[in-house]
Amino acid sequence: MSIPLPVRIQAAVVRGAYALPEGVRRAIAGAPVVRDGQTLALDAQLILKLQRLSKAALVLPGGVGPSRTAMEYGRHLVGGPTIGSVAVRELKIPSESASGDGELAATLYSPAGLGERSGLLVFFHGGGWVVGSRASHDHVARFLAQRAGVRVLSVEYRLAPEHAYPAAADDALAALDFALAKAGDLGADPARIAVGGDSAGGNLAAVAAQRAVRRGGPAPVFQLLLYPATDASVRRPSRDLFADGYFLTSADMDWFADRYAPEPVDRADPGVSPLRAADLTGLPPAYVGTAGYDPLRDEGEAYAEALRAAGVAVELSRQPDLIHGYANYIGIGHRFREATAEAAEALRKALR
């Protein structure tokens, strides 16, 4: 995809802003923001200010089409230079549930120097089940692959509203099954397959892990859940605390849910809201990363606590000074990259 000139100019402005002395960055961002006992990181506050100035938003007035386009170009603004020491191979995943030719597109990322029978992460991108793609999260997949020293299989699952629930959830399980069955062909060890994603992708990863474990047979050995959506049936305090002003808004969440799980879908169904599952025992260990300034914060942390209560080993890590989607901002400042590196290290340890 060629990058339009306006996007290139915006990217240069963002890079220039983050190269300024700290005092100048603080002057642009404004006075420190303290909420719920947390101080927003300057890196996060500055990007929020730049987004407001440029009228950037997750959901744009034109609806699905413009919002998808904005997400695709967003990584050029905040994702940083492409990590070149990662080989890329395009794949097709057979899926009986997939429309069209019955296949899902996927990209396999392999870090330089990685031997055969490595660990592998099956990764699902965020975007509210409506926007986002492998391309929009290419920098995230490359970063996780390189930092964790594992292969990453990034999956192009079907998006709503064209394909509402359970299409994406079915695709997630099909992709996980493919990785488990074809691990050798992917250069991976079938005993070291993890599942993960960010935001809506974290939701799909949690749902796929639950379904794989409950049916019996092959299942992932680890879950990497970054600020996951886990319960669309309950409104928790963080939803109101951070309803507006921190990029992902409460209104955005309603818009995404209305397209992914419209009536008569029961949003308390564990396929939509994995926190509502009656039984969480036997699930693989998990790393759950949440952001302090995120309307999804409380439901992500509630899922981590529910897993612990069910006897599942969980590392819950709140990044109190960051916003939703922090893994997408690894190309600017240092806090976003630092937080995402922590998640990658958890993955590395789990699959080494």
In tens digits, the chain (352 residues) has pLDDT values of 578 888 999 999 999 999 999 999 999 999 999 999 999 999 999 999 999 999 999 999 999 999 999 999 999 999 999 998 999 999 999 987 655 568 999 999 999 999 999 999 999 999 999 999 999 999 999 999 999 999 999 999 999 999 999 999 999 999 999 999 999 999 999 999 999 999 999 999 999 999 999 999 999 999 999 999 999 999 999 999 999 999 999 999 999 999 999 999 999 999 999 999 999 999 999 999 999 999 999 999 999 999 999 999 999 999 999 999 999 999 999 999 999 999 999 999 999 9
Query: Topology of 85-351 in CATH?
Result: Rossmann fold (3.40.50)
> What's the longest Cα–Cα distance across the chain?
57
Tokens 């057979």 sit at which residue?
A: 94
- Distance, in Å, from the CA atom of 339 to the CA atom of 343, rounded to the nearest integer, reads 7
Between the CA of residue 138 and those of 84, 86, 120, 304, what are the distances in Å? Answer: 11, 11, 16, 27
- Map 134-153 to HEC letters: CCCCHHHHHHHHHHHCCEEE
Which H/E stretch holds residue 120? strand 118-124
Q: How many other CB atoms are found less than 10 A from the CB of residue 115?
A: 6
Q: Residues 156, 204: contact at Cβ < 8 Å?
A: no
Q: Which amino acid is at 331?
A: G
- Give residue 99's pLDDT: 54
Active-site residue set? 199, 294, 324
Task: Give yes or no for a cis peptide into 21 (omega within 30° of 0).
Answer: no
Domain ranges of the chain: 5-76, 85-351
Q: Give the rounded distance of the alpha carbon of 109 from its chain centre.
A: 16
C-beta of residue 79 within 8 angstroms of C-beta of residue 330: yes
